[in-house]
Chain A
Amino acid sequence: MAKVIVNGEIVENTWRRLTSEELEQQDVPAEGAVIVPLAYWLAHRDALLERAAPVGVCLEPGEEPADLAADLPALPLVAVNFPAFKDGRGYSYARELRTRYGFEGEVRAVGDVLQDQLFYMHRVGFNAFEVRADRDIEEALNGLRPFSVTYQGDVHDERPIYRRQSA
């Protein structure tokens, strides 16, 4: 089974992410934790909520976290897809999920997820990272902590450095 970084540890990935193409060909399997696209979730919410196994939702760039806001209390996981690491919209989505909607479940980065972006991703609210399959996930773990200093506040501590220093 593939590995994933969750809360700073490398663990087995127990979630299966289904794309909209896959969901055109097949139904959601009865067993196992799955991540479905936002549109699929919105169309099949009631049925998905009746599943025994957990369901998460994946946001693509261009989709609105607001469309998921009302459902967040029922969701254990929201994934944000990075089709290319240079598309930074997902950083704002994670931050919105955490600070605007107070989402406390897992926020998982999927897609083109690489070592050198993990630190920023973590600061805006991601706590899980599906590192791209062709990369060494052990080495990627180093990407979580290149800096001990940050000027701005973030989702973990909203205070900028000068407020932390004087506290």
Chain B
Amino acid sequence: MYVYQDYDQRLLEERVAQYRDQTRRYLAGQLSEDEFLALRLQNGLYIQRYAPMMRISVPYGMLNTTQVRKLASITRDYDKGFCHVSTRQNIQLNWPEVADTPDILAELASVQMHAIQTSGNCIRNITTDEYAGVNPREIEDPRPWCEVIRQWATFNPEFAYLPRKFKIAVNAVPDADPALIGVHDIGVQIVHDHNGETGFQVWAGGGLGRTPMTGEVIGEFVAWPDLLAYLEAILRVYNKYGNRDNKYKARIKILVKALGADKFRELAEAEFAELKGGAMTLTREEVARIKACFVDPDYRTDVDTAALRNALDQHRAFNRWYHTNTRAHKKDGYRSVTLTLKKTGRIPGDITDEQLEAVADLADRYAFSEVRTTHQQNMVLADVAEDELYDLWRQLDALGFATPNLGLITDIVSCPGGDLCALANAKSVPIAEGIQRQFDDLDFVHDLGPLDVNISGCMNACGHHHIGHIGILGVDKKGKEFYQITLGGRGDRQSRIGEKMGPSFESHEVTGVIGKIIRVYLDNRLENEPFISTYERIGMDPFKEVVYG
């Protein structure tokens, strides 16, 4: 993980002092609601339906166990004993008091954490593949580049009042998009030139929300020293020319679309030409300093793989979990383990204070004291030795984190929805729960194979419904909650926006409709064909006929 220098820490402490003063002036009536709004948002504080919501930054999803324990105690002391993993890999508190928020930030700062720019019209948390650094398919570790970008974006004075929020993701896997760069304001694809030097293919103009679209390649190959200059060029064009009259047309995707990729590229390249070679040029020394924070842990070389094979032969439930919730690791003898936070009846991604502490204990014992959050609202222990998997599984099972459903129909991604969020048009959690209850037979769930179900309670698309194989969007029709269903979205090997099926459904109809969709799939699938491939082969019509017929 990135290790703070004295100046990183000083910056956080100064931020806490600044925010404490802003909160004092707000509570004393010296700052208007609107003025405080912009300030508190850039510190992660929303005012929600019942209480404020505070979004804590987890840069590219990385946490150490000291931080996890701090989150547990904050959750216990300032909230109702649970928090929520968001689809931006951040952690959300749902019930803090406004007056307590400076203290919460001070607690976070004591463990090198903060809520800087987790909301508001600024550059948000940088995200990447949750298996970054251990994924055998990546061409290099993307996290140092995420950190380079994080520092440039943090309190960047020119880009704090953008037309709209701005999200950047970095991907280092060729031919797959685990970081969803295709649907980010800027997506950075790490590539290597023929000499093996690192460079970046830079995408811009992707995004979900009201007008979902995938981005365009703006920079075909940006040499690594120029990364920040290139990003700054794109941001400057956006800051100057992005739409500010209508918040629904304010994201960079609308600007890229309106100008066309060629014109946008021309403007960005003109800015870049001025910045290139200047003081923003990255140095080998600085990149090396940051890379040194992301070296491999002390992997064991004496892992007893025979023990794993025995356990797999003897325990069917362990075997199923192993094949579903763990995945290949770059290091022989190791696996990455995903803890699914998708207990039926709970908000997907919710975790309690005690569970956080238990996860921290397990990470200390089995995973080099490191925990990751994922954009599918789960947690990852990235480095677990194969001969310790069985022990870990038994403990995870006791905690309820070993449901073997990763990537299956019941591993639903969902925003908190209308139960908590003031923006939502409709509830999402009861819909998720209905689907989880309908598909409660694990054998059947496994037979269905990989299936991404994503639910958003409104157009803002926090549940990433556009990229679900089955996407569910809550909409409001004359004060009643309806749900619109999309099929064929992808956020797996590539990012693709799903297609609307047709008229929306009332809440009590949704699980029945999902059942019919699954039936069409089962009737049409070829051997070993996953849902998304069947959909892409047979198209929308057979599904529509059965659902609306």
Q: Which residues of A contact B (CB under 8 A)?
A: 61, 85-89, 91-93, 95, 100, 114, 116-117, 119-121, 123-124, 142, 146-154, 158-163, 165-166
| Interface assignment of B14: CB less than 8 Å from any CB of chain A | yes
Tell me the bound Cα distance from A120 to B39 in angstroms.
13
| Closest A residue to B150 using CB positions | A151
Which among B39, B155, B278 is the interface contact of A150 at CB below 8 angstroms?
A: B155
Chain B hits for A93, CB < 8 A: 240
Chain B hits for A151, CB < 8 A: 11, 151-152, 154-156
| Interface assignment of B368: CB less than 8 Å from any CB of chain A | no
Tell me the bound Cα distance from A96 to B157 in angstroms.
13
Taking residues whose C-beta sits less than 8 angstroms from the other chain, chain B's interface range is 35 or more
Chain B hits for A159, CB < 8 A: 279
Interface centre among A92, A158, A159 (most CB of B within 10 A): A92
* Contact call B239/A88, Cβ cutoff below 8 A: yes
Tell me the bound Cα distance from A152 to B286 in angstroms.
13
User: Known contacts being A88-B161, A89-B239, A124-B158, is A158 close to B279, with CB within 8 Å?
Assistant: yes
Interface contacts beyond A148-B14, A162-B286: sample of 12 additional A-B pairs, CB < 8 Å, sorted by A = A88-B159, A89-B239, A120-B157, A146-B14, A146-B17, A148-B10, A149-B14, A152-B152, A158-B279, A158-B280, A161-B151, A163-B279
| Interface assignment of B415: CB less than 8 Å from any CB of chain A | no
Beta-carbon contacts under 8 Å, B114-159 to A: 121, 151-152, 154-159
| Interface assignment of B408: CB less than 8 Å from any CB of chain A | no
* Contact call A153/B18, Cβ cutoff below 8 A: no
Q: Which residues of B contact A (CB under 8 A)?
A: 7-8, 10-11, 14-15, 17-18, 21-22, 31, 35, 38-39, 121, 151-152, 154-163, 236, 239-240, 244, 274, 278-280, 283, 285-286, 289
* Contact call A153/B280, Cβ cutoff below 8 A: yes
8 closest pairs, A vs B, by CB?
Answer: A88-B161, A120-B157, A123-B157, A158-B279, A149-B11, A146-B18, A151-B151, A162-B286
Tell me the bound Cα distance from A118 to B52 in angstroms.
27
Q: Is the interface of B mostly helix, strand, loop or mixed?
A: helix
Tell me the bound Cα distance from A166 to B35 in angstroms.
38
Chain B hits for A150, CB < 8 A: 155, 157
Chain A hits for B279, CB < 8 A: 153, 158-160, 163
User: Known contacts being A146-B14, A149-B14, is A91 close to B158, with CB within 8 Å?
Assistant: yes
Chain A hits for B10, CB < 8 A: 148-149
User: Known contacts being A92-B240, A114-B35, is A147 close to B14, with CB within 8 Å?
Assistant: yes
Chain B hits for A123, CB < 8 A: 157
* Contact call A154/B157, Cβ cutoff below 8 A: yes
Q: Closest CB-CB distance, A151 to chain B, in whole Å?
A: 4
Chain B hits for A124, CB < 8 A: 157-158
* Contact call A147/B244, Cβ cutoff below 8 A: no
Which among A92, A119, A149, A161 is the interface contact of B158 at CB below 8 angstroms?
A: A92
User: Known contacts being A114-B35, A153-B279, A153-B280, is A89 close to B14, with CB within 8 Å?
Assistant: no
Q: Closest CB-CB distance, A13 to chain B, in whole Å?
A: 23
Tell me the bound Cα distance from A74 to B246 in angstroms.
37
Q: Closest CB-CB distance, B352 to chain A, in whole Å?
A: 35
User: Known contacts being A146-B17, A150-B155, is A91 close to B161, with CB within 8 Å?
Assistant: yes
User: Known contacts being A146-B17, A160-B279, is A119 close to B157, with CB within 8 Å?
Assistant: yes
Chain A hits for B274, CB < 8 A: 100
Chain A hits for B285, CB < 8 A: 162, 166
Chain A hits for B121, CB < 8 A: 86, 88
* Contact call A120/B11, Cβ cutoff below 8 A: no
| Closest A residue to B38 using CB positions | A86
Tell me the bound Cα distance from A161 to B436 in angstroms.
50
Q: Closest CB-CB distance, A158 to chain B, in whole Å?
A: 4
Tell me the bound Cα distance from A41 to B163 in angstroms.
28
Tell me the bound Cα distance from A160 to B286 in angstroms.
10
* Contact call A116/B160, Cβ cutoff below 8 A: no
Tell me the bound Cα distance from A162 to B285 in angstroms.
9
Tell me the bound Cα distance from A152 to B281 in angstroms.
11
Chain B hits for A160, CB < 8 A: 151-152, 279-280, 286
Q: Closest CB-CB distance, A79 to chain B, in whole Å?
A: 18
* Contact call B236/A92, Cβ cutoff below 8 A: yes
Chain B hits for A114, CB < 8 A: 35
Chain B hits for A116, CB < 8 A: 22, 31, 35, 39
Tell me the bound Cα distance from A162 to B8 in angstroms.
11
User: Known contacts being A85-B35, A91-B157, is A147 close to B11, with CB within 8 Å?
Assistant: yes
* Contact call B161/A86, Cβ cutoff below 8 A: yes
Q: Closest CB-CB distance, B146 to chain A, in whole Å?
A: 14
| Closest A residue to B11 using CB positions | A149
User: Known contacts being A61-B244, A147-B14, is A91 close to B239, with CB within 8 Å?
Assistant: yes
Q: Closest CB-CB distance, B495 to chain A, in whole Å?
A: 28
